[in-house]
Amino acid sequence: MTYLDHAATTPVLPQVVEAVAAALRQTGNASSLHAAGRAARRRVEEAREGIAEDLGARPSEVLFTSGGTEADNLAVQGLFRARRAADPGRRRILVPALEHHAVLDTVEHLAAHEGAEIGWLEVDDFGRVHADTLAAAIAENPGDVALVTVMWANNEIGTVNPVRELAEVAHRHGIPLHTDAVQAVGTLPVHFARSGADALSVSGHKIGGTVGTGLLLLRREAAVRPLAFGGGQERGLRPGTLDVAGAAGLAVAVHDAVMHRDERVATLSALRDDLVRRVSAAVGGVRLTGDSGGSVVDGGPSRLPGNAHLLVAGCEGDSLLMLLDAAGVECSTGSACTAGVSRPSHVLLGLGMAEREARGALRVTLGHTSTSSDVDALVAAIAPAVSRARDAAAAAARRAAAVTR
C-alpha cells in the first residue's frame, strides 16, 4: 500500500517507539515523592524542557494533554469562561468557519449552552484570515470580544494563516488569541513566543508521536478555567496522573520535527509540486484548492508543503477514494474526524463552493516517509480511478433524472 494520508496521522518514528518503551519499563507516578516518583517526574520535566526549547516557549507554558482536540477544548472553553467570569460582557468569539471541528464544535457548544455569540471571520479565496478582516470584526464592538481562535494552517486545504499579525491585532484590544497548530509543527516555523499567540495546540500523532499525546502551550499570564478537576497537575488545568511515556515520546517527536523541518519542507514541497503537475497532466478537470504555496507567511511557506488538496470534476470524492484504495493508494477526501459523513466538507462550503463541486475533493498529504515512488503509484492509479468514478457519477445522475421524470 502507498500511504498518502499523513495529515490524518503519520507513522510513528522509531526513536519515539524506543523512548516510549524505555519509559514504560520504569515504574513510578510523577506525583509521588519517593525515588521512583521523583525519577518519573524528572523524565516528564526533561521532556517539558526539551519541548519548550524546540517550540520557543517557557517550560511552565507547556501543558501535556491527550491530543489536539483536548488542547483546543481546554484553550477555547477555558479562555472563554475566564473572560466571562471577569467581564460578563465578553461574549463574542471570533472564528473562521474553516476551523477544525475540535474548535468549531466547541464554539458552537458555548453558544448553545453558555451564552457565547459567534462572530464568523471572513476568509479570502484561499481560506486565509487577514489582519484587517480581524480588525474590522473587533471594531464592531471591541468590548464584547472574549477571544479569537484561528488555526495556524488548515488541515484540509493547507492554507497558512498570518498568526503573528492576527495576534498583534487582538492584543491591541486586550483580546487573547488561540491557534490550532496541529498541522503546522514540523513544516512551519512555529515559535510560541514570537507568534504572539496566548494558547497553541499541538498533536503528537501528526508529527511522528503516538496517538493520545498532545500539548497546549499556554502563556503564564493567560487566565484559563479548567475543564476537569481532581488534582493539581499541569498548573491545575489538566488534572490526572501524568503520562510519563507519552511525554517522553512526544518530546522526541517534537525535537525531530523541528530539527528536520528545513530539509523536510524542501523534500515535501518538491514531491507535492511534482504530484500536482503529473496528476493534472494525467487527468483533465483537476485543480488545486487553497494557496499555491508560492509566497511567505510569518517566515514560512504560505501552504503546507505536504498538502495537495485537489478538486476532481465530474466524480464523487468518496468513490474516487475507494477506487484508489482498491488500487493500493491510501488518501482521503478531507479531515479524518469527519470521514463517513455524507455531506461535503465544511471547509470547501466555507470557501463558497457549490455542494456538487465540493463533493469532488481529494486530499493527498505527504509526510516524513514519503518518496517519489509514492507519487509514481498515485499517478499510475489516478486516471483509471477517475474514469470509473466519473462513469459511476454519470450513471447515478441518469438514474436520478429518470426517477424525477
DSSP state of 114: S
Task: Give the three cell numbers for residue 194.
Answer: 514570537
Could you give the CA distance from residue 136 to residue 122 in angstroms, rounded to a whole number? Answer: 10
Q: How many Cα atoms sit within 13 Å of 143 on the Cβ side?
A: 3
Q: Residue 89 in 3-state DSSP? A: coil
Closest CA to 227 of 373, 339, 344, 77: 77
Could you give the CA distance from residue 234 to residue 306 in angstroms, rounded to a whole number? Answer: 33
DSSP state of 92: E
CA-to-CA separations, 405 to 4, 274, 356, in angstroms, rounded: 42, 46, 21
Pairing of the two strands 92-96 and 117-121: parallel
Residue type, 153: A
Active site residue 337: yes
The catalytic residue among 22, 337, 395, 396 is 337
- The secondary structure of 187-218 as a DSSP string is TB---HHHH--SEEEEEGGGTTS-TT-EEEEE
Q: Where are the alpha helices (DSSP H) in 283-371?
A: 317-326, 346-350, 355-358
Pairing of the two strands 62-65 and 214-218: antiparallel
CA 300 to chain centre: 16
Task: Give the three cell numbers for residue 113.
Answer: 449552552
Contact 330, 2 (CB under 8 A): yes
Contact 144, 90 (CB under 8 A): yes
Contacts of 90 (CB under 8 A, 6+ apart): 83, 84, 143, 144, 145, 146
- 301: burial class by Cβ within 10 Å (0-12, 13-18, 19+)? buried
Cα dihedral 360, 361, 366, 367 sign? negative
Catalytic residue numbers read: 337
